[in-house]
């Protein structure tokens, strides 16, 4: 008998049992996350997404489609923007004893920025202009319906 610490099994089931696990392929999402800063840099240099996809496929084994790459990059950069504080925002301070406020009627500054609304897309003052238009329409006489016009006395 030999003194080999790793003897070669002779039957099929023993070979299967002794087989090491093959290395896992990184997912496309992991690849994009790992190379995100380089991808964003290439985009700023003027590279197109298709060129970046082809280069990732050639160099690191990216298997996704163009739309997959685009959605991953857009989603990950959006996550990064949400995690970073806005420029000019005060950094968060560690929790500690609070100083008393100057006056009891003074309201504290909000800790998070206001949420965006669909009406904000119309530009500054859009919501107020819309409310004013609705108030004006309320005061007007309602338009007659087709049924009212047909049934009107002659």
Q: Contact at 8 Å (CB) between 9 and 18?
A: yes
Predicted TM-score of the model (pTM): 0.45
Chunked into runs of 10 residues, the chain (154 residues) has average pLDDT values of 60 79 88 93 93 94 92 91 70 52 58 66 76 81 84 86
Picking from 80, 6, 5, the residue whose alpha carbon sits closest to that of residue 40 is 80
Q: Contact at 8 Å (CB) between 32 and 69?
A: yes
Q: What is the DSSP letter of 19?
A: P
pLDDT for the residue numbered 25: 84
Query: DSSP letter string over 93-111?
Result: PPP-PPPPPS-TTPPPPPS
Cα gap 31→143, rounded to integer Å: 61
| Cβ-based neighbours of 42, under 8 Å, separated by 6 or more | 51, 52
């Amino acid at each position: 008998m030999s003194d080999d610490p790793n003897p070669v099994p002779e039957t099929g089931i023993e070979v299967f049992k002794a087989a090491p696990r093959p290395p896992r392929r990184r997912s496309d999402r992991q690849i994009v996350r790992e190379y995100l800063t380089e991808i964003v840099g290439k985009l700023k240099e003027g590279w197109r997404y298709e060129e970046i996809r082809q280069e990732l496929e050639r160099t690191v084994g990216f298997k996704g489609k163009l739309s997959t790459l685009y959605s991953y990059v857009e989603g990950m950069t959006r996550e990064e923007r949400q995690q970073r504080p806005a420029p000019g925002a005060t950094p968060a301070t560690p929790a500690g004893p609070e100083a008393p406020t100057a006056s009891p009627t003074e309201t504290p500054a909000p800790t998070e920025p206001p949420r965006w609304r669909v009406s904000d897309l119309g530009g500054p003052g859009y919501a107020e202009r819309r409310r004013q238009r609705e108030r004006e329409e309320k005061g007007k006489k309602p338009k007659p319906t087709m049924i009212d016009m047909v049934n009107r006395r002659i």
